[in-house]
């Protein structure tokens, strides 16, 4: 399924907005939102459509357009929700059924997608688009004959769309009808000779039949059509490798990883080829990269172990074989190879035990010959240094099981505290502005330049911060009995990372004004920052970040446990003094996350949202915690809401995890 919605610009021309019933301002917001979509300004479109939908909750076309924007930001669940709103407001809105079907298909919910396609086709049987999209869904769900029928119907109305021929050809190929597959790929090429996909599909079919010259011609043509299309280089590299031209193949894989530095199989295949030509050190670097990108793939460690052994790095080779065995305990080859290395290192007992286990696995394999997975890794004659095709399953789970002891890292949005910021740095949209009279009065009473409630890093230059700190110190020396002066020095000392002094100043301020909840909030944040700073330099595996906010790291494993009890205690006190202040619960939720108290964290995020329904950061962080706890769908809906409210980081989360939420 292509990412861009099918024929989007054409569809926009079909809209009919009832100007007679709409106020002029609503009409304006609708058209501005639509134009933002045309310009691919999806986040701006969401912001402007939010204004429209707040003013008119019956504007079904507004929900539809916002759904299109979310779809193009990979917020699939949010898009599905908005298309559903549009249908609820207008049950005969064909486009909403069509686009919700496409979204559900991308989510892997094929049954509901097909139901929506049926609704769209029954409402508008003359529209070609739903036939094409339903054909793709049938193809993805392996209902090839039905897919062909839909592509046939689509091509009657739209005979110049090359992608339809390509998809129909793929259906025939999967039905083992290579003649019709060729015919369709040829038709796709004659329809659009500048589309590299037609050449790639036909070239792939030539390659599968070992017609290497024909395949090479097609892949060369595909590259001339689009020199930045990675698949063409990948396919051509396979041809070069199969025809004993490893240097040319490596050059193409160089181009592949330059175009996509995260493509594991590009590095994996290049590592194999580099090993074949004796470029062992660079091959090892490639395997290292694959292990970093895909630590759950057994072949990476098995192949790297053999290379390490060949280079004489026996300890590293044994470690890699051990990792391969941990990932696949029935891997007989790994046991036998590790046995050989342990024997060389005079570990006779270990070698004997590995050989016993390997032979046991072989015996089990012979009794389970019908189990292809088992036989793959138990067969001692199996060669594992073969190139993988582009569509090889080389992926990892996004979150490792907590019980498996794997390290998991989630980036939460930071804590809120009173800090010093340039005024234009803390401006937020009116819809996200949380107004609290007590907090505003506190800022006025504090009398500190640039003081603002924020979760952003201070943007004042260091020399200015040190100057403010010197002034705060002078004021405190002149009047040490003022809570304002103690609070002011607490702020500046915290900003220059003098945590102990900062906490002491906040403590003195609290002694002078014990009923002020905002003093507890800042002392809590500084205590948490100090705790996280200590943990970051004490644990060698942790990265020291320039962002000292503790909420930026949430991990499942640690060599030591660090307590956030004092910081949470201060927020408990603040909550008793000011029970309706949303930021207290948000901060406490973040600290509960860091302390591993996930249910309490969700409860506090929920309370923060109840107090401030547009609390975007709380939606974002609650969503991440729910994803972390495997409640992925609910979590993605929260992250989607955060994106809708203006959190740009939300779309990275949705892009990473949304497509895997079936």
| pLDDT single digits (tens) 144-168 | 999 999 999 999 999 999 999 999 9
Where does the pLDDT of residue 15 fall: very low under 50, low under 70, confident under 90, or very high at 90 and above?
Answer: very low
Per-residue pLDDT, 416: 94
Where does the pLDDT of residue 511 fall: very low under 50, low under 70, confident under 90, or very high at 90 and above?
Answer: very high
Superfamily, domain 417-660: Tetratricopeptide repeat domain (1.25.40.10)
Among 30-44, 74-88, 394-408, name the most confident range: 74-88
- Name the token pair of 365: 């394999």
Nearest to 554 by CA among 537, 532, 533, 539: 532
Q: Does residue 134 carry a pLDDT above 90?
A: yes
User: Residue for token digits 């610009």?
Assistant: 9
Among 5-9, 112-116, 496-500, the minimum mean pLDDT is found in 5-9
DSSP 106: H
Span 8-209 CATH architecture: Alpha Horseshoe (1.25)
Per-residue pLDDT, 497: 77
Q: How far apart are CA 357 and CA 353, in angstroms?
A: 6
Average pLDDT of the residues of the chain: 84
Q: How far apart are CA 604 and CA 588, in angstroms?
A: 7
Burial class (CB in 10 A: 0-12, 13-18, 19+), 372: exposed
Q: Does residue 447 carry a pLDDT above 70?
A: yes
Per-residue pLDDT, 393: 52
Where does the pLDDT of residue 638 fall: very low under 50, low under 70, confident under 90, or very high at 90 and above?
Answer: very high
Q: What is the pLDDT of residues 317-339, one digit of tens each?
A: 999 999 988 887 778 889 999 99
- Give the residue with greater pLDDT, 329 vs 50: 50
Mean predicted confidence (pLDDT) in 385-399: 57
Confirm if 292 and 318 have CB atoms less than 8 A apart: no
Is 417-660 the same fold as 262-396? Answer: yes
Q: Does residue 382 carry a pLDDT above 90?
A: no
Mean predicted confidence (pLDDT) in 373-402: 55
Q: How far apart are CA 405 and CA 659, in angstroms?
A: 25
Among 281-285, 427-431, 523-527, 595-599, the minimum mean pLDDT is found in 427-431
Per-residue pLDDT, 399: 27
- Name the token pair of 150: 């839909």
C-alpha gyration radius of the chain:
30
Per-residue pLDDT, 375: 54
Q: Does residue 68 carry a pLDDT above 60?
A: yes
Where does the pLDDT of residue 305 fall: very low under 50, low under 70, confident under 90, or very high at 90 and above?
Answer: very high
Q: What is the pLDDT of residues 547-560, one digit of tens each?
A: 333 333 333 333 34
Confirm if 72 and 3 have CB atoms less than 8 A apart: yes
Per-residue pLDDT, 498: 79
Q: Which residues does 282 contact at the CB level (< 8 Å), separation at least 6? A: 274
Whole-structure pTM value: 0.63
Secondary structure of 390-459 in HEC code, one letter for each residue? CCCCCCCCCCCCHHHCCCCCCCCCCCCEEEECCHHHCCCCHHHCCCCHHHHHHHHHHCCCCEEEECCCCC
262-396 is classed CATH 1.25.40.10 = yes
Q: How far apart are CA 635 and CA 626, in angstroms?
A: 5
For 8, 169, 412, 489, 630, the CA distances from 498, given in Å and listed in that order, are 55, 67, 24, 10, 39
Q: Does residue 275 carry a pLDDT above 70?
A: yes
Cα dihedral: 291, 204, 186, 125 (round 10): -50
What number of residues does the chain have? Answer: 662
Where does the pLDDT of residue 645 fall: very low under 50, low under 70, confident under 90, or very high at 90 and above?
Answer: very high
Q: What is the pLDDT of residues 203-252, one digit of tens each?
A: 999 999 999 999 999 999 999 999 999 999 999 999 999 999 999 999 99
Nearest to 222 by CA among 248, 242, 201, 206: 201
Q: Does residue 391 carry a pLDDT above 80?
A: no
Per-residue pLDDT, 563: 73
Domain boundaries, the chain: 8-209, 262-396, 417-660
- Name the token pair of 596: 């591993």
Helices (H) and strands (E) in the chain, counts: 33, 2
């Amino acid at each position: 399924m292509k990412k861009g919605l099918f024929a989007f610009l054409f569809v926009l021309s079909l809209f009919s907005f009832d100007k007679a019933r709409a106020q002029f301002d609503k009409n304006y917001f609708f058209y501005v939102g639509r134009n933002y979509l045309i310009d691919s300004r999806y986040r701006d479109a969401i912001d402007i459509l939010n204004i429209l939908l707040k003013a008119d909750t019956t504007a079904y076309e507004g929900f539809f357009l916002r759904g299109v924007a979310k779809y193009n930001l990979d917020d699939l669940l949010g898009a599905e929700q908005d298309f559903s709103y549009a249908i609820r407001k207008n049950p005969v809105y064909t486009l909403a059924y069509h686009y919700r079907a496409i979204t559900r298909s991308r989510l892997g919910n094929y049954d509901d997608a097909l139901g929506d396609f049926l609704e769209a086709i029954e409402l508008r049987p003359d529209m070609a688009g739903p036939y094409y999209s339903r054909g793709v869904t049938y193809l993805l769900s392996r209902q090839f004959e039905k897919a062909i029928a839909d592509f046939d119907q689509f091509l009657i109305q739209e005979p110049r769309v090359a992608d339809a021929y390509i998809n129909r050809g793929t259906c025939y190929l999967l039905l083992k009808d290579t003649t019709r597959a060729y015919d369709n790929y040829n038709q796709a090429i004659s329809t659009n000779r500048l589309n590299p996909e037609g050449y790639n599909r036909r070239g792939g079919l030539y390659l599968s039949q070992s017609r290497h010259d024909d395949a090479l011609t097609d892949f060369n043509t595909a590259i001339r059509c689009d020199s930045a299309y990675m698949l063409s280089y990948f396919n051509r590299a396979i041809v070069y490798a199969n025809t004993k031209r490893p240097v040319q193949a490596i050059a193409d894989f160089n181009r592949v990883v330059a175009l996509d530095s995260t493509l594991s199989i590009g590095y994996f295949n290049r590592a194999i080829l580099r090993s074949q030509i004796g470029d062992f050190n660079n091959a090892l670097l490639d395997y290292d990269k694959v292990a970093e990108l895909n630590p759950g793939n057994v072949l990476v460690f098995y192949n790297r172990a053999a290379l390490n052994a060949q280079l004489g790095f026996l300890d590293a080779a044994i470690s890699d074989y051990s990792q391969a065995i941990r990932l696949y305990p029935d891997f007989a080859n790994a046991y036998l190879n590790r046995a050989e290395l342990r024997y060389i290192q005079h570990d006779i007992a270990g070698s004997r035990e590995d050989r016993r286990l390997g032979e046991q696995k072989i015996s089990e394999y012979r009794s389970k010959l019908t189990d292809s997975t088992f036989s793959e890794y138990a067969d001692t004659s199996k060669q594992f240094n073969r190139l993988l095709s582009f569509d090889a399953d080389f992926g990892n789970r996004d979150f490792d099981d907590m019980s498996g002891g794997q390290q998991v890292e989630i980036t939460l949005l930071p804590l809120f505290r009173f800090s010093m910021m340039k005024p234009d740095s803390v401006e937020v949209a009116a819809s996200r502005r949380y107004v609290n009279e007590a907090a505003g009065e506190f800022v006025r009473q504090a009398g500190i330049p640039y003081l603002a409630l924020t979760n952003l890093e201070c943007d004042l230059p260091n020399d200015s911060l040190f100057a403010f700190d010197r002034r705060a110190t002078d004021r405190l020396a002149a009047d040490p009995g003022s809570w304002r002066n103690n609070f002011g020095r607490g702020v500046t000392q915290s900003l220059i990372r003098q945590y102990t002094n900062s906490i002491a100043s906040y403590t003195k301020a609290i002694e002078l004004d014990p009923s002020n909840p905002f003093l507890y909030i800042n002392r809590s944040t500084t205590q948490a920052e100090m705790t996280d700073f200590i943990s970051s330099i004490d644990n060698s595996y942790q990265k020291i970040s320039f962002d000292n906010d503790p909420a930026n790291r949430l991990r499942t494993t640690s060599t030591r446990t660090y307590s956030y009890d004092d910081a949470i205690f201060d927020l408990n006190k603040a909550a008793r003094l000011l029970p309706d202040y949303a930021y207290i619960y948000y901060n406490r939720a973040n600290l509960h996350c860091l302390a591993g108290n996930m249910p309490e964290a969700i409860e506090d995020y929920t309370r923060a949202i109840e107090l401030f329904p547009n609390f975007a950061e709380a939606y974002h962080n609650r969503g991440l915690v729910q994803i972390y706890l495997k409640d992925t769908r609910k979590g993605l809906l929260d992250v989607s809401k955060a994106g809708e409210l203006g959190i740009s980081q939300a779309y990275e989360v949705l892009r990473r995890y949304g497509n895997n939420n079936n």
